Structure 1
Amino acid sequence: MRRVDYDREQYQNYRRGRALNEQQLGAWMSAFAAALPERRPLVGLDVGSGTGRFTPALARAFGPVTGIEPAERMREVAQAQAQHPDVRYLAGSAEELPVPSDSADYALMFLAWHHVQDKPRAARELTRVIRPGGRLLLRGNFSDHHPEPWWLDHFPRGLEADLAQFQPLHEVIAMFTALGWRVASFGTVTHPSDGTRADVLERLRLRTLSFFAQLSHDEAEAGLRNIERIVAADPGAPAPALAEPLLTLERR
């Protein structure tokens, strides 16, 4: 997997390219609420918070949140455009979390785990900072539980390139259970439609998915041309909803 440098490649378009509409944000917040303890407030971490697309919503729903993001320019966008009185953004990474031990009730990693370079170290850090009984919400793709958006097959090597970024589910679970965690739940969340297929194409052109970093320029262009032909035939066709995996782990 080629590492994405978000300080150079995607920070300018990321917030627009990965924005959630109200229905999509609501679906995910409902799923997170069902996976977390009922008491409020909860102290949260948004690990790999990027431009803060979830961070303020987490604070509104559950309590104070620290967004932790290694890319300086992604943090700058979050600090300017994703503000909330109970949110702060800090430099850090999953391998080096800048918060005290046993200080968080939960952490969210939303499509961030596959970017972690030293996963065993990150698992130990998450174990350090999340209190006993706390939760880790891991919205990640897994090589054996992988949602396939309608556009993926239109790229040469599309599925192959995307799958290469992810671990199988059992490897992720084994890493955490060896540190004393248990699986609280695993299932899928229906991510509502992104609008029309033409809407999706417009966002794909921004190339704010790590998938694009795994393709050559020619492969990416060929795939986008393929999708353009599909969209041109019926630009108003709705993009289908997608069932996406969510693993919830509990620290014992």
Structure 2
Amino acid sequence: MVDYDTRLHQVYAQGRALPADSLNTWMQAAAGFAPPTRPLTVLDLGCGIGRFTPALADTFGGPVYGVEPSARMLEQATAHPDVTYLEGSAEAIPLPDTSCDLVWLFLTIHHWSDPLQGLREVYRVLRPGGSVILRTQFGDRMPDLYWYRYFPSARRVDAQMYLPFDEVRALATRAGLQAEEEPHWVDVTEPRTQRATYERLKLRAFSTFEHIAEDELDRGFAQFERDADADPDREVPTFPAGVLLLRRPSS
């Protein structure tokens, strides 16, 4: 488990900033994945500082609830007239039964202490026919991220942090949700140079770095900085984002 109330809340906004083009692409994808009716009541579970929460309100036209366990992250959350932020966890969502049409889960399920209970709670708050947009990595389908070369244990850390694809589907089924057979792949990552990648990652706003020894981090970032200085404009490879769609059956 990662405690966002100690260090990560201080660097998250800068280290995980989302360009406007990427946010728009995500909202277009979300609109295509979601039920077609409008407005929709949306739960942004694990909303953090509200990177997506106001945009979800604008996209779907209804009330949005941002639920987040970290009080320090919520202190920075972006205000919006149709957004209500609540402190709470996936395992005990502070919303009534069948109160939401759509649940947005963006890189959050790997932080849950009990994924099955969290998915059961998602099922509980969804209306029959409601949908879940689950953006996550899958431990058995990890991309070969460029920066793994600098931190030898990072690939293993991430593979252990994220559940395998079939396990995610099995947990969803046990929770009463219907899962699609395969993930969708959304191309939302803008081209990024080696220098920009280094400047972003050196803030250590990714939870992966919380599980890597300090001496490995020091060596990795020192080499990364040298490479960024030597070839700052080199474009690093990017990968599409995996999304698994879930649904609460209508009956």
* TM-score, normalised by the number of residues in structure 1: 0.94
Structure 1 counterpart of 2:148, from 152, 156, 159: 152
Q: How does 1:154-233 map to 2 (within 5 A)?
A: 154-184=150-180, 186-193=183-190, 195-233=192-230
- The CA deviation at 1:153 is 2.1
Q: Where does structure 1 lack aligned partners over 5 or more consecutive residues? A: none
The one-character-per-residue Cα deviations of 1:176-215 (angstroms, maximum 9, x if unpaired) are: 1123321246211112225322111111111110000110
- The CA deviation at 1:145 is 1.9
Q: What is the letter of the counterpart of residue 35 of structure 1? A: F
Q: Equivalent residue for 1:124?
A: 120
Cα distance in 1, alignment partners of residues 26 and 218 from structure 2: 31
Is the Cα contact below 8 Å between 1:154 and 1:226 reproduced in 2?
Answer: yes
Structure 2 counterpart of 1:109, from 105, 109, 116: 105
Alpha-carbon RMSD across the aligned residues, in angstroms, is 1.3
Is the partner of 1:97 in helix, strand or coil? coil
Is the Cα contact below 8 Å between 1:156 and 1:222 reproduced in 2?
Answer: no
Residues paired across the two proteins, number = 247
Is the Cα contact below 8 Å between 1:193 and 1:242 reproduced in 2?
Answer: no
Structure 1, 53-62 or 151-160: larger mean CA deviation: 151-160
* TM-score, normalised by the number of residues in structure 2: 0.94
Q: How does 1:10-25 map to 2 (within 5 A)?
A: 10-25=8-23
Cα distance in 2, alignment partners of residues 65 and 145 from structure 1: 31
Is the Cα contact below 8 Å between 2:100 and 2:130 reproduced in 1?
Answer: yes
Cα distance in 1, alignment partners of residues 29 and 175 from structure 2: 25
Is the partner of 2:7 in helix, strand or coil? coil
Q: How does 1:68-83 map to 2 (within 5 A)?
A: 68-78=67-77, 82-83=78-79
- The CA deviation at 1:156 is 2.0
Is the partner of 1:199 in helix, strand or coil? helix
Q: Equivalent residue for 1:57?
A: 55
Structure 1, 223-232 or 135-144: larger mean CA deviation: 223-232
- The CA deviation at 1:113 is 0.4
Is the partner of 1:108 in helix, strand or coil? strand
Cα distance in 1, alignment partners of residues 16 and 177 from structure 2: 31
Dislocated runs of 4+, deviation >6 Å: none
Q: Equivalent residue for 2:43?
A: 45
Q: What is the letter of the counterpart of residue 169 of structure 2? A: I
Is the Cα contact below 8 Å between 1:59 and 1:87 reproduced in 2?
Answer: yes
Structure 1, 143-152 or 13-22: larger mean CA deviation: 143-152
* Shift in alpha-carbon separation, 1:239–1:83, aligned structure 2, 3 A: farther
Structure 1, 189-198 or 201-210: larger mean CA deviation: 189-198
Structure 1, 227-236 or 185-194: larger mean CA deviation: 185-194
Q: What is the letter of the counterpart of residue 45 of structure 2? A: V
Q: What is the letter of the counterpart of residue 60 of structure 1? A: D
